């Protein structure tokens, strides 16, 4: 018989010193997130972050050695959450089309709820980082982005194997999904800014999801439109070719 395992000892409670250290670290991270999301990397200052966190610069540097280290932490936190949301949707229950739509919805909902970060993510370029993208930041962003793309790519390939999706380059399909998500948010922002039309991002996302799920062109076109169904447009062209 196996010897009975001894019950594991409960973790010792943290000391007051450890609690204070964790609180300071959390305050620094919260302050850096607020400043970076509002100002970007170049315009943010360590002095400002330390002041908002209620700590000295020396204390801040004891947790994070540089402004870049704080910026990388902010990206890691958000991209980790986004990656987890996409992976959960991609591996969830349902058919491939249902999971693909779930991935799109997870991406959209994360973007909508964290719009300031996504603008920072989309607009990240060398000008924002004093003339060049630091290698540390570049590596972190590339790693998280590649992980997100891979889970979506595997789902698209599975959909093509099961004949759910058209035989297009899977990478192009995944990039198109990302581009459409960005376009929806950018367009809705423009609508709000210039008061062009009372259309928000959720309406655009719902319309795009419907088009993906049901298709843009109707298989059977309504009667009374014979002038347009004689060959004009993609749907008419397909019908004309099918009759030849």
Task: For residue 53, give both structure tokens.
Answer: 């966190």
Q: Say what percent of the chain tops pLDDT 90.
A: 52
Average pLDDT, the chain: 82
Q: What pLDDT shows up at residue 205? A: 87
CA angle 193–197–201, rounded 5-degree value: 75
- Say how far apart CA 23 and CA 126 lie, in whole Å: 33
Tracing tokens 């959720």 back to the chain, one arrives at: 202
Q: Please count the other Cβ atoms lying within 10 Å of the Cβ belonging to residue 190.
A: 11
CATH number for region 71-216: 1.10.357.10
Domain spanning 18-65: CATH 1.10.10.60: yes
Residues 94/105, Cβ–Cβ less than 8 Å: no
Residues 6+ apart with CB under 8 A from 36: 44, 70, 71, 74, 120
CA 122 to chain centre: 10
Look at residue 187 and tell me whether its pLDDT is greater than 90: no
Q: Is the pLDDT of residue 230 over 70?
A: no
Predicted TM-score (pTM) of the model is 0.77
Give the integer Cα–Cα distance in Å for 159 and 152: 11
**Cβ proximity of 104 and 177 under 8 Å:** yes
Q: Which residue has the tokens 């990388």?
A: 72
**For residues 118 and 185, is the Cβ–Cβ distance under 8 A?**
yes
What pLDDT, on a 0 to 100 scale, did the predictor assign at position 24? Answer: 96
Which of 67-76, 136-145, 166-175, 178-187 is predicted most confidently? 67-76
Of the listed ranges 47-51, 144-148, 210-214, 231-235, the least confidently predicted one is: 231-235
Question: Would you state the pLDDT for residue 9?
Answer: 64
Domain ranges of the chain: 18-65, 71-216
Highest mean pLDDT among 87-91, 121-125, 207-211, 223-227: 87-91
């Amino acid at each position: 018989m196996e010897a009975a395992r001894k019950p594991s000892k409960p973790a010792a409670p943290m000391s007051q010193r450890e609690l204070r250290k964790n609180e300071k670290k959390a305050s620094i991270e919260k302050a850096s997130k607020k400043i970076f999301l509002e100002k970007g990397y170049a315009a943010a200052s360590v002095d400002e972050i330390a002041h908002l966190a209620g700590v000295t610069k020396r204390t801040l540097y004891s947790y994070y050695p540089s402004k870049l280290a704080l910026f990388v932490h902010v990206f890691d936190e958000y991209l980790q959450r986004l990656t987890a949301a996409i992976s959960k949707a991609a591996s969830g229950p349902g058919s491939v089309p249902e999971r693909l739509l779930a991935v799109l919805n997870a991406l959209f909902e994360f973007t909508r709820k964290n719009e300031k970060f996504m603008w920072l993510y989309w607009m990240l370029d060398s000008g924002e980082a004093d003339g060049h993208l630091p290698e540390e930041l570049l590596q972190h962003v590339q790693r998280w982005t590649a992980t997100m793309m891979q889970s979506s790519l595997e789902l698209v390939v599975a959909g093509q194997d099961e004949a759910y999706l058209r035989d297009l380059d899977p990478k192009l399909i995944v990039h198109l999904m990302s581009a459409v998500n960005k376009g929806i948010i950018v367009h809705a922002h423009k609508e709000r800014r210039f008061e062009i039309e009372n259309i928000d991002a959720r309406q655009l996302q719902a319309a795009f999801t419907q088009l993906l799920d049901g298709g843009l062109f109707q298989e059977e076109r309504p009667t009374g439109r014979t002038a347009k169904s004689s060959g004009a447009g993609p749907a008419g062209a397909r019908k004309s070719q099918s009759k030849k």
